[in-house]
């Protein structure tokens, strides 16, 4: 399969402006493709990963991957996907975000000649208002611009002139990369179709109708329940290990629904057709084994964080399953148990019954005593059955945490004051 056929099989292709022309351009020699990412945060998230996976496949097909770190467009705000105007960040914050995101891009794409990161502020920031209006504004028809989906969807609620002009800026980006980096293809989500075609039109206006310029868009990715991928719990899954730990990242993929896992294996991994087809059979025949989910978690976590992160995530999962958690490090405790109910714990030793009630683990001393005597309570991985036991917060995890388990699965984290 060629690049486009592979995308189609993986469910990663929504629209292409000129499939035959793009195939010929890719066959004639190495060309560039780009994805733009506006630095609205200090980390990219799995939503950003969607177009980046397509760009990575383009790179693996022997071509050059280019990412625009949108220092210029990020100061304006892309109207697509939003019902209201974006909150503008300070230029200092945008620059900090650009630098932070660059490190993540380099982990995904490497440091070779077939990859580069550019900042569109290098050219957009040099344009005067007069040059913008004279050299570019004259080339865009308002009548055409307001019919683009990204603008039309906002007309009833209202759209500022600032965000209205975003498609012009994105068109300038495409043309600049066409000139500077031999970029012939722009890749984006399906909501970017109008912006992408505006850029192609600009290139044809400035460079001639025969100038090779193409666009590929990706379908909107939805979970099987109809919710937007990655947003079902309302919390972003970040690629920055400080924002979302590799363990949490691994667990996100491991917990995918059987109805979604094959789709995500196709989209987010570089496994072959045969490998994915075999895993699809496993989903149907042995769903309880969750082999497909585990492979998905392994592959995506390895791509983003490396093999060592996969190994640690699986070790932590096994420790959590077995209850053998007494030897976990403070950082691992923070990674694994950051989302469990927590309470403040005093630094001195306290009777276990009082400790459980004061921490809200148990509702009453009677219930606390019963659970302890029945072997339902573990403290820092050790089962406690003596109601006279003293919980010493200084005994584990550098005196920072006390980890309580009630029953088989219910955890509570005492944070030592």
Residue given tokens 């794409």 in the structure block: 109
Per-residue pLDDT of the chain (417 residues; tens, 9 = 90+): 999 999 999 999 999 999 999 999 999 999 999 999 989 889 999 989 999 999 999 999 999 999 999 888 888 776 765 666 667 788 899 999 999 999 999 999 998 889 999 999 999 999 999 999 999 999 999 988 888 877 887 787 788 888 888 889 999 999 999 999 999 999 999 989 989 999 999 999 999 999 999 999 999 988 888 888 875 455 689 999 989 999 999 999 999 999 999 999 999 999 999 999 999 999 999 999 999 999 999 999 999 999 999 999 998 888 887 778 888 889 888 888 877 899 999 999 999 999 999 999 999 999 999 999 999 999 998 999 999 999 999 999 999 999 999 998 889 999 998
Say if strands 410-416 and 342-345 run parallel, antiparallel, or are unpaired.
parallel
Per-residue pLDDT, 232? 44
Q: Say how far apart CA 213 and CA 200 lie, in whole Å.
A: 6
What residues does CATH 3.10.290.10 cover in the chain? Answer: 342-416
Per-residue pLDDT, 234? 54
3-state secondary structure of 225: coil
170 is in an annotated binding site: yes
Per-residue pLDDT, 231? 56
Homologous superfamily (CATH) of 246-322 is: Tyrosyl-Transfer RNA Synthetase (1.10.240.10)
Q: How many CA atoms lie within 13 A of 33 on its CB side?
A: 28
CB atoms within 10 A of CB 280: 15
Tokens of 244: 């979302």
The radius of gyration of the chain's CA atoms, rounded to the nearest angstrom, is 26
What residues does CATH 3.40.50.620 cover in the chain? Answer: 3-218
What residues does CATH 1.10.240.10 cover in the chain? Answer: 246-322
34 is in an annotated binding site: yes
Distances from the Cα of 309 to the Cα of 244, 247, 321, 332, angstroms:
12, 8, 18, 12
Q: Say how far apart CA 277 and CA 275 lie, in whole Å.
A: 5
Of the candidate CATH numbers 3.40.50.620, 1.10.10.10, 3.40.309.10, 3.30.70.600, the domain formed by 3-218 belongs to 3.40.50.620
30 is in an annotated binding site: no
Q: Which residues sit opposite 185 in a β-bridge?
A: 33, 214
Tokens of 31: 């060309």
Q: Say how far apart CA 50 and CA 312 lie, in whole Å.
A: 25
CB atoms within 10 A of CB 196: 25
pTM of the model: 0.86
Of the candidate CATH numbers 3.30.70.20, 3.30.565.10, 3.40.640.10, 3.10.290.10, the domain formed by 342-416 belongs to 3.10.290.10
């Amino acid at each position: 399969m060629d690049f486009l056929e592979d995308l189609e099989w993986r469910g990663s292709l929504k629209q292409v402006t000129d499939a035959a022309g793009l195939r010929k351009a890719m066959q004639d020699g190495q060309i560039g493709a780009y994805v733009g990412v506006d630095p609205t945060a200090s980390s990219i998230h799995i939503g950003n990963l969607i177009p980046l996976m397509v760009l990575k496949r383009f790179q693996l097909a022997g071509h050059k991957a280019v990412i625009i770190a949108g220092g210029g467009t990020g100061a304006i705000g892309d109207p697509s996907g939003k019902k209201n105007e974006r909150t503008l960040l300070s230029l200092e914050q945008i620059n900090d975000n650009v630098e932070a995101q660059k490190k993540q891009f380099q982990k995904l794409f490497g440091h070779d000649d077939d990859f580069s990161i550019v900042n569109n502020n290098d050219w957009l920031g040099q344009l005067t208002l007069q040059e913008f209006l004279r050299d570019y504004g004259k080339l865009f028809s308002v009548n055409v611009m307001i019919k683009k989906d990204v603008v039309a969807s906002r007309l009833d609620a209202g759209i500022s002139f600032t965000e209205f002009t975003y498609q012009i800026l994105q068109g300038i980006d495409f043309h600049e990369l066409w000139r500077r980096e031999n970029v012939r293809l722009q890749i984006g989500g399906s909501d970017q179709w109008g912006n992408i075609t505006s850029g192609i039109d600009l290139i044809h206006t400035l460079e001639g109708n025969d100038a090779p310029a193409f666009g590929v868009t990706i379908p909107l990715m939805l979970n099987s329940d109809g919710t937007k991928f990655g947003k079902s719990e309302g919390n972003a899954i970040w690629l920055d290990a400080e924002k979302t730990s590799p363990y949490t990242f691994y667990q996100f993929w491991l917990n995918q629904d059987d109805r979604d896992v094959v789709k995500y294996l196709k989209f987010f991994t570089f496994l072959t057709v045969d490998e994915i087809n075999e895993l699809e059979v496993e989903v149907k025949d042995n769903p309880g084994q969750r082999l497909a989910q585990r492979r998905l978690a392994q592959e995506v976590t390895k791509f983003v964080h490396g093999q060592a992160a996969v190994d640690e995530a699986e070790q932590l999962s096994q420790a959590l399953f077995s209850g053998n958690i007494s030897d976990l490090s403070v950082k691992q405790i923070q990674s694994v148990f950051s989302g469990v109910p927590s309470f403040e714990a005093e630094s001195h030793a306290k009777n276990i019954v009082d400790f459980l009630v004061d921490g809200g683990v148990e509702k009453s001393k009677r219930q606390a005593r019963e659970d302890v005597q029945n072997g339902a309570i573990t403290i820092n991985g050790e089962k406690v059955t003596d109601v006279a036991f003293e919980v010493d917060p200084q005994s584990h995890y550098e005196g920072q945490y006390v980890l309580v388990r009630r029953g088989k699965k219910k955890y509570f984290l005492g944070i030592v004051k």
